[in-house]
Amino acid sequence: MSEGFDMTHDEGRTVLVTGGGIGIGRAACEAFAARGCHVVVTDVLEAEGRAVVQAITEQGGSAEFAALDVRSTMQADALVADVVARRGGIDVIVANAGIAHKVPLDRLSDEKWDETHDIDLKGMLRVIRPAVPAMKTRGQGTIICLSSIMGVAYGWDEHVAYSAAKAGVVGLVRGLATELARDGIRVNGVAPGYIRTAQLLSAENSLGPDAAAMASPYIPMGRLGEPAEIAGVIAFLASSAASYLTGQVLTVDGGLLVGRY
C-alpha cells in the first residue's frame, strides 16, 4: 500500500469542528476521535458540546470543548490562536456551524438575510482565515466545509437565504482550494441531502417529524441519511486517502439528485 493511503498517518491530528454539539457536527467529532485524533468541539450550545466531549473521553478518545459563536471574529481569532499555541497547529477544520430558517420572501428582512450568511458562510471564513498561516508554515492542512444539496442543485422554497449561503460555500471551497493548494492545504466540501437531524425534523423550519415518510419515496436508496454517514465522508476527505483531492464538493444524498435529474 502506498504511503499516501496509510490511514495511520491520520492519527494524532488536531481537528476543530464548528457546530460540533449536535447532528452532523457531533457525528464528525465522534468519527475523528474514533480515528485517534484530538477533537476541539466548538458550539454556541455549551451543554451539548460538553456532552460530546464527555462521550468521546468515556470511549477513550481525546477531546475538549470551546464555546464559539462563529459570528464573532474576535472569538474565532482568539480560539484558533489558543489551539495553535497549545497544539502547534490545527490539522483539520470542519466548518459545519449553520442555521436554516423558513422565511417567505415578503418577510425576509435584511437582518435575517445577514444573520444566515453571517453564520452559514462568513462564519466559515472567520475560523479558516486565522488557522491558515500555521497550516502554511507546516506545509499541510485540510479544510472541509458543509454545503447542502440546496446549495448545489435545489432551490428550497422559503429558504432563499439558506440556499444562497450554501451555494456560496461552493464558491468558498473552490476559491480557497485554488489559492492554498501550493501551500499543501486541501479544501473540499460536502453537500448532504436529507439527513436525520434536528434541523430536518423541525416542523417550523424544515420537513418536520414526518420527514422520512415525505422524502424517502424520492430517494433511490429509500431512506433518510444518518449523521454518521456524512461524518464518514468528512473523515475520508480529511484523510491521507484523499491526498490528491481538492476543490470538490461531494453530494451525499442516497442518489436523490441523480434519481430525479
The set of catalytic residues is: 162
- Identify whether the C-beta of residue 192 lies closer than 8 Å to the C-beta of residue 230: yes
Beta bridge partners of 94: 17, 144
Residue 194 C-alpha cell reads as 436529507
Give CA–CA dist 62/74, Å, rounded.
26
How far, CA to CA in Å, does 165 sit from each of 32, 161, 192, 247? 26, 6, 14, 18
Q: Is 185 exposed, middle or buried (0-12, 13-18, 19+ CB in 10 A)?
A: buried
Which residue reads 485540510 in cell numbers?
142
Which residue reads 477533537 in cell numbers?
39
Cβ atoms within 10 Å of 140's Cβ, excluding its own:
14
Query: Of 100, 94, 93, which Cα lies nearest the Cα of 141?
Result: 93
Q: Which residues, at least 6 apart from 176, have a Cβ–Cβ distance to it below 8 Å?
A: 128, 143, 187
User: Residue 193: helix, strand or coil by DSSP?
Assistant: coil
- Identify whether the C-beta of residue 190 lies closer than 8 Å to the C-beta of residue 95: no
Query: Of 130, 127, 160, which Cα lies nearest the Cα of 146?
Result: 127
